[in-house]
Amino acid sequence: MRIDLFCRVIDNWGDAGVCWRLARQLVRERGAQVRLWIDQPQVLAAWQDERAALTTLQICTWSDAVNWSEITPADAVIEAFACDIPADYVRNMAQAEIKPRWLNLEYLSAEAWVEGAHLLPSPQSGGLTKLFFFPGFTEKTGGLLRERDLLTVRDRFVAQYPRYWSDLTGFEWDDDALAISLFGYEDMPLQSWLPALIEGETPVQLAVTYGKASEALKRAWSALNLPQSNAAQWHAGQLSVRFLPMLSQGEYDQLLWSADINMVRGEDSLVRALWAGKPLVWDIYKQDDGVHWDKLKAFTQRYGASGDEGVAQLNDAFTLCWNDSQVAASELTQQWLRYVRAMPALTQHARDVAAHLAQQDDLVTQLLRRLSVAEKP
């Protein structure tokens, strides 16, 4: 099957990350021929090493310079996150002898309304129909991106490399330390959280991802007047910090598998953290109208639905604090201490959630069901 996948980059590690994973899985596992039309192809540079073996994956620059009237549409068209594909291309779709299947891949949400909106048709000009495809956490949604053997690869890797955390991050191995990966937006409540780590009961090794998370942590460190260093590792009290280079998607998966707790942001890293089967804290993208709170609460309720009520409450409480830029330091510290003390239960719950989600068909399997039947005029 020939597939055109369109992506406009809003968040380098979000929109582009999801589309790259999707394109890669379609090629590797399903033998599809994919053209990934992306307006900022340079953001894929960190993953160039993965492209050599993907001979049927073509990266195409989406720009006004393209003469879209001369582009022959593929058998199926995926419009990622309502990115509005070019009008001339759509006209070519309408004029095709066999009209391409057309899906709009929506953002992930755990909200209840998604089940009713998934696969709703939207009639378009020229006799075309676009289906709205919603990823999600239930059988009535489109599922989550998950490679065919992901959990098996994860378990084999963790068993084979039990101390990979040290190899990847550069921290000296410490059986007693709490290993935390940090990936988040600039508004994380770091000035309230870092003192809790520094003065905590347990040594903490904090691996900070490249980009906004590193910049935010350095600002918070400076604001707290903590000792800075040109060395690779910063240290204060019980807390040690290392700043990571840009990681490939495979390396980031391995970081998530090796950590004890994963602080993640956006959609792509949230899903990968779910498959890691480790406790996670989601830094959701904030919206001015506050609607992100509904989305966040829907996720925490879904995440905690199948487990112990006490564990769910602990996860909810700290996640909501983490996303509240006005949270009092004392409240965040209290919730963090409760969270850390419940690590065995939180870890088991995370494993159970991953296993439960893996029982439903993955996103690519469900998506291809909808793309496999062509519409005839």
- CA 285 vs. chain centroid, Å, equals 12
Quote the CA–CA distance of 156 and 306 in Å, as a whole number: 26
100 φ, ψ to 5°? -65, 150
Quote the CA–CA distance of 105 and 23 in Å, as a whole number: 13
Which residues does the annotation mark as catalytic?
A: 15, 267
Q: Are strands 129-133 and 57-61 parallel, antiparallel or unpaired?
A: unpaired
Close Cβ partners of 161 (under 8 Å, ≥ 6 residues apart): 167, 258
Please give the span between the terminal C-alpha atoms of the chain, in angstroms, as a whole number.
19
Residue at 134: amino acid letter: F
Between CA 77 and CA 127, with CA 88 as vertex, the angle to 5 degrees is 65
Looking from the CA of 108 toward its CB, the CA atoms found within 13 Å total 23
SS (H, E, C) 186-214: CCCCHHHHHHHHHCCCCCEEEEECCCHHH
The three-class DSSP label of residue 37 is strand
Close Cβ partners of 64 (under 8 Å, ≥ 6 residues apart): none
Residues 264, 13 contacting (CB under 8 angstroms): no
**In terms of Cα–Cα distance, which of 77, 47, 12 is closest to 268?**
12
Q: Where are the beta strands (DSSP E) in the chain?
A: 2-7, 33-38, 57-61, 76-80, 101-105, 121-123, 129-133, 178-182, 204-208, 233-236, 239-243, 261-265, 280-283
